[in-house]
Copies of this chain bind each other. A is one copy, B any other.
Amino acid sequence: MYEGAVQDLIDELGRLPGIGPKSAQRIAFHILEADKDDMQRLAESIQTVKDKVHFCEVCFNVTEQDRCAICRDDRRDETVLCVVEESKDVMVIERTRSFRGKYHVLGGSINPMAGIGPEQLHIRELLTRLSDDRLQEVIIATDPNLEGEATATYLARTLKTLGIQVTRLASGLPVGGDLEYADEVTLGRAFEGRRSLIG
C-alpha cells in the first residue's frame, strides 16, 4: 500500500504481539516523524537486547551475565524454590516483596495443542536442582489457567517421590474485588480454600 521502506516497517511492526494493522501504521508514521536520534536508540535497544540478554544458566530467568541477579544474590533463601512459567512472572512476584527464595523459569506451560510437552520446558534442569539437600519446598506458581494447572499437576506428580514439600499458590477472590463479579470457578475455589477465622 505504501512505498517500500514504510510498508516494510508496517509489516515488521504488525508481527509484534498485540499490534494490529492500524497500530502498526500509526507507530510507523510516528517513527517517520520522530526525532532521528530517538529512533536510532529504539533500533539499538532492540539489537542490544538480542546481543546481550540471554537466559540464566541456573534458573532461566533473563540476564546479561551467566547467572541472573537473583541467582547471584547470596541473601536469598536457598530452601524455597518458586517455579514460574516466564521471566516476567519472576518480576511480578518480586514486586510483591512476599517471596525471598529463588526461582526456576520453565519457559512456558504444558500445552499439547501447541506441541509443548514436559520435554520442551526446563523440567529436567529443575529436577537436577532439586537434588540440592538444602531445598525444603517447591512453590508451583504457574498461571491459574488450563495450561498452568496441567503443568502444576504434572510437576506435583513428578516431584511426589522426592520428599520435598510441593505447594501451589492459593486460588480465590482477588483482594478488593466484588463477590458479585467473581466467576463461578474462582468462587468455587474460594469456598474450597476457605480459612478459619476463629482459633
Tell me the A residues contacting B by CB distance below 8 Å: 1-6, 8-9, 11-13, 15-19, 23, 25-32, 36, 38-50, 52-53, 62-64, 68-69, 86-88, 91, 94-95
For residue A32, give the distance in angstroms from its CB to the closest CB of chain B.
6
Residues on the B chain within 8 Å of A52, using CB: 4-5
B8 touches A18 (CB 8 A): no
Contact among B18, B43, B50 for A27, CB-based, below 8 A: B18
For residue A167, give the distance in angstroms from its CB to the closest CB of chain B.
26
B45 touches A9 (CB 8 A): yes
B3 touches A62 (CB 8 A): yes
Using known A-B contacts A8-B48, A12-B41, A50-B36, determine if residue A17 contacts B2 with beta carbons closer than 8 Å: no
Q: State how many copies of this chain the complex holds.
A: 2
Residues on the B chain within 8 Å of A17, using CB: 26-27, 30
A32 touches B53 (CB 8 A): yes
12 contacts between A and B (CB under 8 A): A3-B53, A3-B62, A3-B68, A4-B64, A15-B42, A16-B30, A16-B31, A17-B30, A29-B87, A31-B49, A32-B49, A32-B50
For residue A92, give the distance in angstroms from its CB to the closest CB of chain B.
10
A88 touches B36 (CB 8 A): no
B18 touches A62 (CB 8 A): no
User: Top 4 A-B pairs ranked by shortest CB distance?
Assistant: A43-B43, A43-B46, A9-B45, A12-B42
Looking across the interface, which residue of chain B has its beta carbon closest to that of A36? Answer: B50
Residues on the B chain within 8 Å of A9, using CB: 45-46, 48-49
Tell me, in angstroms, the Cα distance from A40 to B47 when the chains sit together: 7
A86 touches B42 (CB 8 A): no
